[in-house]
Amino acid sequence: MRGNKPLSQRLYPLSRCVAAAALCIGIAACSPRLDTRGYQFDPDTLSQIVPGTHTRDDVTEILGSPSSTALLDSEVWYYIGNQTETFAFFEPKVTERQVVTINFDSNGVVSTIDAFGLERSRKFDFVERETPTTGSQITLLDQLLGNLGRFNKQGKTGR
């Protein structure tokens, strides 16, 4: 008879199933999430650009607009692509980076092409200073109380 078994023996198979399901969900949640951003390179497409022959317009037609240009020298275009891997709640880690730099001469013709990956990238620290601004920070209460008594009375003709 089923009712004669103790409650712990009746719930034992169910608790094993719940534990197995929780373990599977935990393992699935920790699988890495891949994220690809930026320019995705095709070696055949990049080989179409010939230094000394192609111009800026040709490069834009073949590769599209650049990810970035040099700040001080608009003669250098950068095409950048990254792939990151994120495990659960940890900081994303860059697993692959591809950078193509295209240099143009003064006439706008491609002079050199350089492609490299994560092995030549450098890590740098951003400046975390804040630029001071003048004035003060006004809270919601300051705004509400500051508007008391500032109503336009010119439109009223009560005399």
Q: Is residue 140 part of a domain?
A: no
pLDDT digits (tens, 9 = 90+) for 80-132: 898 999 877 788 888 888 889 999 998 999 999 998 888 887 776 767 777 77
Q: Is residue 1 part of a domain?
A: no
Question: How many domains does the structure of the chain reveal?
Answer: 1
pLDDT digits (tens, 9 = 90+) for 48-74: 999 999 999 999 999 988 988 887 777
Which uninterrupted H or E stretch holds 4?
none
Full domain range(s) for residue 101 = 32-123
Q: Is residue 83 part of a domain?
A: yes
Q: Is residue 132 part of a domain?
A: no
Per DSSP, the chain holds a count of helices (H) and strands (E) of: 4, 5
Q: Is residue 56 part of a domain?
A: yes
**Dihedral class, residue 108 (left if φ above 0, else alpha if ψ from -120 to 50, else beta):** left
Q: Is residue 19 part of a domain?
A: no
Contacts with 38 (C-beta within 8 Å, 6 or more apart), sequence order = 67, 79, 80, 81, 82
Q: Is residue 139 part of a domain?
A: no
Kindly report the average pLDDT of the chain as a whole number.
80
